A = this chain, B = another copy of it.
Amino acid sequence: MSENHVCRSCPVRDRALCVSLADEELCGLRLIARKRQVTRNQIVCWAGEEALICANVVTGMFKVCASAADGRDQIVGLLHAGDFIGNPSPSTNRFTITALTDSTICVIPRQLLENFMSAHAKMERLLLDRTHASLEDARLRILLLANRSAEARIATFLLDLTSRSIDGDCTTIRRERQIFNLGLSRGQLAEILGLSSETVSRGLSRLKDNGLIALPGGRTIAILDKSALTVLAGAS
């Protein structure tokens, strides 16, 4: 019983895959799961290695990276609180997953999760839905990268972040005023958007000059004119 207290107070109890489980079912999962702190830049999955663990992101933010042949990294996805890492079926990691901020994850050995899920169909269905949603996100990012200008990419990404940011998430400072710390360097932003860091910097500067956003300093961004950003995001 006391085991469940850990889960009941978990910030993502009602957003991670665990939402599909009743409190009493959670006991079984709690026995095989373990919370783990990871520090910024720490890697939790290596591309090319066998996937031995799965995990839920409890706090923080991770990047999913593919290494290009020229050695450069490309961020192909982001993981936020509540998102799931890995696949219950045996597999080889195709991407490297790295913490962008100091974070907490709830780690579960893959094999054990595979067995657990077989006995909890609701959870498996939910994971399927989540994976499907991730696929849709990835496809929307394809749309973004394929044909849109640098400014449109930046505007779209900022809007995405505002809609995705979560109270209590370290990426958000004051949601109501649309001021948030994106926790990403210009270079990382460039990796996500498929641009050079200089182009990202120029784009942000222009948005600032036009009064759409403010850059109070550091990695903080304030959205001043959301509707104008939306227009920009839609324009080619």
Which chain A residues have a beta carbon within 8 Å of chain B's beta carbons? 64, 66, 68-70, 72, 74, 76-77, 87-89, 91, 94-95, 118, 121, 124-125, 127-129, 131-132, 134-136, 138-143, 145-148, 191, 193-194, 233-236
Partner of A132, one of B69, B121, B131: B131
* Closest chain B residue to A114, Cβ basis: B125
A119 to B23, CA, bound (A): 24
Q: Assuming the A-B contacts A70-B235, A89-B125, are A142 and B132 also in contact, with contact meaning beta carbons closer than 8 angstroms in the complex?
A: no
Which residues of B sit under 8 angstroms from A127, Cβ to Cβ? 128
Contact between B235 and A69, CB atoms less than 8 A apart: yes
A146 to B73, CA, bound (A): 11
Main secondary structure of the interface of A (DSSP, over half): helix
Which residues of B sit under 8 angstroms from A95, Cβ to Cβ? 136, 139
* Closest chain B residue to A131, Cβ basis: B131
> Most chain-B Cβ atoms within 10 A of its Cβ — which of A89, A131, A233?
A131
Q: What is the distance, in angstroms, from A144's C-beta to the closest C-beta of chain B?
A: 9
Q: Which 6 A-B pairs have the closest CB atoms?
A: A146-B194, A69-B234, A138-B138, A76-B139, A70-B236, A145-B145
A180 to B69, CA, bound (A): 27
Contact between A129 and B66, CB atoms less than 8 A apart: no
A88 to B146, CA, bound (A): 29
Which residues of B sit under 8 angstroms from A88, Cβ to Cβ? 125, 128
Contact between B147 and A72, CB atoms less than 8 A apart: yes
Which residues of B sit under 8 angstroms from A87, Cβ to Cβ? 128-129, 132
Which residues of B sit under 8 angstroms from A236, Cβ to Cβ? 68-70, 72
Which residues of B sit under 8 angstroms from A193, Cβ to Cβ? 146
Contact between A140 and B89, CB atoms less than 8 A apart: no
A131 to B194, CA, bound (A): 25
A72 to B95, CA, bound (A): 31
